[in-house]
Structure formats: structure tokens, C-alpha cells
Chain A
Amino acid sequence: MTLRFRHIRDYAVRAVLVLCTVCLVAPLLVIIGYVLVNGISALTPAFFTEELGSPARAMQGRPTGLFHSIVGTVVIDLLALSFAAPVGMGAGIMLSEYSENPLNGPIRILTGTLNGMPAILMGLLAFSLVVRPTGRFSAVAGSVALAFVMVPIIARSVESVLRTTPWSLREVGLALGLPRWRVIVSTVLPAARSGILTGVLIAFARAAGEAAPLLFTSFGQNYLNLDIRRPMDTLPQRLYSLAISPYQEWHAMGWAAAIVLLLFVMACFLAARALSRAHGGRDA
């Protein structure tokens, strides 16, 4: 095996790796490009102010929009976050701070497993637990399903953030005679504040893009509704319905929904990045 061969092989491997990277990144850029171009041309002021209504409304050229879906998304996602944040944070604290507890190992494994569960199953679970007993599709059911998606993500990121806070922080508090829970609540959690917020934001963005759990929980509808006990529309699930609908006007609106959804998720993502960078910067 000559040295020349070894060097050529080294270059060849590098070339293959670059090629693979391009092959992965290029489709993403193409997708984003298409969504931006098609989405911007389909966006109208009415998109943000009008309800969808019946297909006839779009075909007759009357103003329609997804105002009701945007409102529904905000309501359902915030409600889901209010369910998920306490549970996820509690679980994260449990995993990080009470590592001597014998249940810690199993809980960690099951949290990871839940994180890997298909979102559509979260929908089936929420359907069985909320829609079946109450007898109807509702925004609450959708929130519960999305909360199932958020909880393990929040738990894992809270755990990993708490683990990176220095142990001395706890020792200082404990040495002052503070009880353990006090140390956690008033020293450890504040120190990890921005990291926790980052994790919550990532979980929120992830859930905000999910359509599968909402299909048969919050179900969706064409008109504005603020009653959380009744079906409510959301952007991801509406985007799906528009895309598979037979109406061209609705297809265009689907692209508009796509750009709004994409920009929203990217904004959350950027905010999370900025937060974690600010956090990392302060630590360093």
C-alpha cells in the first residue's frame, strides 16, 4: 500500500463526505426556497384577517384566510404548554436532582422512549382519554395530545441543563443549611433559567409544527371558534387539509400556510439558539 494511495484515499473520502453534506443540505434549501417563493405570492392581507369558510368562498374570489387557524394554533399550543411545562420540568428536576432514587433509571428510559414515540399515537391516546369520554372533538383534546409531544422534550432538556450547572452551586446552598428543595428552587433553577427556557421553546416549536396528533383530537373547522370544548382549527392540520383538497385556490392558501408555519418555527428556533448562545456566553 503506497503512500500515494493512502493520500488519494484520504482525499477521496473527504470528497465523498463533502458530497454527502451537499446532498443533505441542498434539498433543505430547495424546500425553503419553494415555500418562500410560493408562499409570499399567495399571502394576502385577508389571509390574516378572514376565516376560511366554504370552498365556494375561495372559488368565487371572495376574501378568505386562515385567521381562525392562526388563533386556534395559538390557543391550542399555549394550552398544551401550560399542561406540559410543569410536568416536564418536574420530571427534569427529578431526573437530574434525585439521581439516587431507584425509579430514576426506569423513568429516564421511558422518557426517552416516549420522546421517540410517533406523534400520531399521541393523537390516538388523547382521542381515547379525552374525545371518547367527552363524546366530541375539542381544542382541549388537541392540547392534551400536543402536551404529550412536549413533555418528554422538556423533561430531557431540563435534565441536561440542570446537569451542566456546577455542583458547587448546590453545595453552597446546602452548606448554608438550606433544605434541598430550597436550593433547587432558589439557586439551581434560576441559574439554569435561560437553558430551561431554550428547552421549552424547542418543545413548543416542535409541537407547533405537528399535524398528526391534531387530526382526530382538535379536528379542525372552517370558522373561527374560541370555545375550547369544541373543534378548533390549527395551521399544520389545516395545511394538510388544504394540500390534499381538490381546489386550486386552496392549494395556494396551503403554500401561504406553509410559509407562515415555517417562519414561525424558524423564529422559535432562532430565538432558542440566541437564548442558548447568550446563556453559554455568560457562563464562559
Chain B
Amino acid sequence: MMSLAAVQSVPTNNVAVRGGASSGQPVVQEQTAGTPAHGAHPRLETRALSVRYGGGAVGVADITMPVHANRVTALIGPSGCGKTTYLRALNRMHDLTPGAHVSGQVLLDGEDIYGPGVDPIVVRRRIGMVFQKPSPFPTMSIYDNVVAGLKLVGVRKRSVLDGVAERSLRQAGLWDEVKDRLKTGGRDLSGGQQQRLSIARALAVEPDVLLMDEPTSSLDPKSTGHIEELMVELKKEVTLVIVTHNMQQAARLSDYTAFFYLGALIELGPTSRIFEAPAEERTAEYISGRFG
């Protein structure tokens, strides 16, 4: 297993080995051989995680929750409840926000990503992220967008890149639409296609976990449907955490749902239980649309 604090990584090997194992069996299983292989073990776990912003404003406070492997965990709650703040803490995106301070632990396969000597760059390679707004890199072709992450670590071999590009685009359900124009600009695609391109780009580096921050909120219903189908497919390979405003979406495709309110985690449980029999009054009120 690749250590987070690793000073060196040997990406070419990595890709080759993992790429070869990617048929049928989830890649993740191999990687975590040694951990108990029963259905849903926590891949990611936060312990007493708090995020404070400059000036003392609290983003989220004291969140302890597991994120199960190969499952979709949805974070719901009204605007400003801290769900996006929490999500961004999971791959150290707050490092880049001036004044933001994170305390507590985020364990990826038992290793604290905020621990001493951990390189945030390695963390972000293993925990990818897709944003609300599709963000293909300008001036790069579709192909170059997809393999951008691999090129970063020095993968130059054409055959490897070609293979990864096709696999990622297929995973993102975009291959058939763009296979004849891989060299055209990524910004010429429609919004939904751009978002799937962003997903393909995140998948190309084979992350263990994929964080999605309202990935469909800027898309039309048809594209949203595409991406939702995609997420259900993807959980075979990666662990998904999505932030959504759309409760139907959370109910449709997530396995676990976490309800956030005022920077605190109110309730976490299997999605069916949360939506059918919420234990907390506020969860029930939010789900029934009484506020938020």
C-alpha cells in the first residue's frame, strides 16, 4: 500500500499493476489486502474534525464519522451548514484557504492525512475531487485534460496515457461522445460533458476516494441523470462522498446519508433509514422540507 508520507512514488508501475487488476474486482480490495474484507469497512474516517476560519468563525465542529468503502455517502443539509467545508477538509483543500485552520483527524485506511510528514499532494492524488462548476483546463484538449494528472507525475509513455484516457473516459461515460475528437478543446463540450470530463480527469489518477461537491447543481436534468448513473457505476471502483442540495438525489443514489446543520453532524445512517425513519427531529424537519 502506498504510504501517504512517501517521498517517492513510482507511478508507471503503479498504473500498470492497478490497471491490470481493474477488471471485475474493485481495485481497492487489492490495495487494502490485510484489512478485513467484509462488505463495508470504513475507508475514510474523521475523528473530532473541526474547521475554523480566520476571525474565529466555525466552519464545522467536532465531526466524527466513518465513510465506508465502495459506497456512496451523501452529505445533506441547508446552505451554510458546513457540508462543503467538511468535504474540503477530507483532501486538505483547506490548506489553500488563507486563515482556515483544521483540527482533529482524517484517517485514510487508518493513516491521518493531517499527520506529521504527510504530503498534501499525495493525499490529493488518493482522494480526488470534482467541483460544482465543470472546470476543464483551458487551452488543453480533451485528451490532455484527462491525462493531466498523470503527466504531472511524469508519465510520458504514449501507450500508457492512451490506455488511461480511454479507460477514464469510458468510466465517466463520455468515451463514445468524444472518441473521434479527443484533440479538440475541452471547453467546446456542453456543460454536462464538461462535468463528465472533470470526473474522467479525476478518475485517471485512480483515486481511492472521490469527493464531489454538488456535481450536478449547474447541469440540466438530462446531464444530471447521466452523472447519477455514473456514480452508481463508479462505486464499484471508488468510494464516493457527495455534497448535494437535492434530497431526491441523495435518496436515489447514496448508501449512507449524513445530515449537517449549523456546522454539526446531526445524524448519519443508511440512506433508507434516514429518509424513512430519521431519529432526530431536525433531520425529519429538513427532509420533509419544513426548513432549509
**Residues of A near any B CB (own CB < 8 A):** 1-4, 6-7
Contacts and interface: CB of A to CB of B under 8 A. Distances in A.
Contacts, number: 20
B153 A1 contact: yes
A72 B119 CA distance: 64
Contact of B154 (A1, A4, A7): A1
B122 interface: yes
* Interface bin, chain B: 10 to 19
Interface string B188-215: 0000000000000000000000000000
Interface stretch (B1-9, B13-21, B72-80, B87-95): B1-9
A3 B153 CA distance: 8
Contacts of B152: 6
Most chain B C-beta atoms within 10 Å of own C-beta, residue among A1, A2, A3, A4: A3
Interface string B99-135: 0000000000000000000010110000000000000
Nearest to B6: A3
B10 to A, nearest CB: 9
Given A2-B9, A6-B152, A7-B121, 17 more contacts: A1-B153, A1-B154, A2-B7, A2-B8, A3-B6, A3-B7, A3-B8, A3-B9, A3-B119, A3-B121, A3-B122, A3-B153, A4-B7, A4-B8, A6-B121, A6-B153, A7-B119
A8 to B, nearest CB: 11
Main secondary structure of the interface of A (DSSP, over half): helix
Contacts of B154: 1
5 nearest A-B pairs in the assembled complex, by CB-CB distance: A1-B154, A2-B8, A4-B7, A3-B9, A3-B8
A6 B154 CA distance: 10
B148 to A, nearest CB: 14
A1 B152 CA distance: 8
Contacts of A2: 7-9
Contacts of B122: 3
Contacts of A3: 6-9, 119, 121-122, 153
A11 to B, nearest CB: 13
Contacts of A7: 119, 121
B13 to A, nearest CB: 13
Contacts of A1: 153-154
Interface string B128-169: 000000000000000000000000111000000000000000
A6 B121 CA distance: 10
Nearest to B8: A2
A93 to B, nearest CB: 34
Nearest to B125: A3
Nearest to A10: B121
A3 B122 CA distance: 9
A284 to B, nearest CB: 16
A7 B122 CA distance: 12
A1 B12 CA distance: 10
20 contacts: A1-B153, A1-B154, A2-B7, A2-B8, A2-B9, A3-B6, A3-B7, A3-B8, A3-B9, A3-B119, A3-B121, A3-B122, A3-B153, A4-B7, A4-B8, A6-B121, A6-B152, A6-B153, A7-B119, A7-B121
A7 B7 CA distance: 10
A4 B154 CA distance: 12
A3 B119 CA distance: 10
Contacts of B153: 1, 3, 6
B60 to A, nearest CB: 27
Interface in B1-60: 6-9
Contacts of B7: 2-4
A81 B59 CA distance: 52
A2 B154 CA distance: 8
B125 to A, nearest CB: 10
A155 B277 CA distance: 65
A167 to B, nearest CB: 24
A4 B122 CA distance: 12
Contacts of B6: 3
Nearest to A2: B8
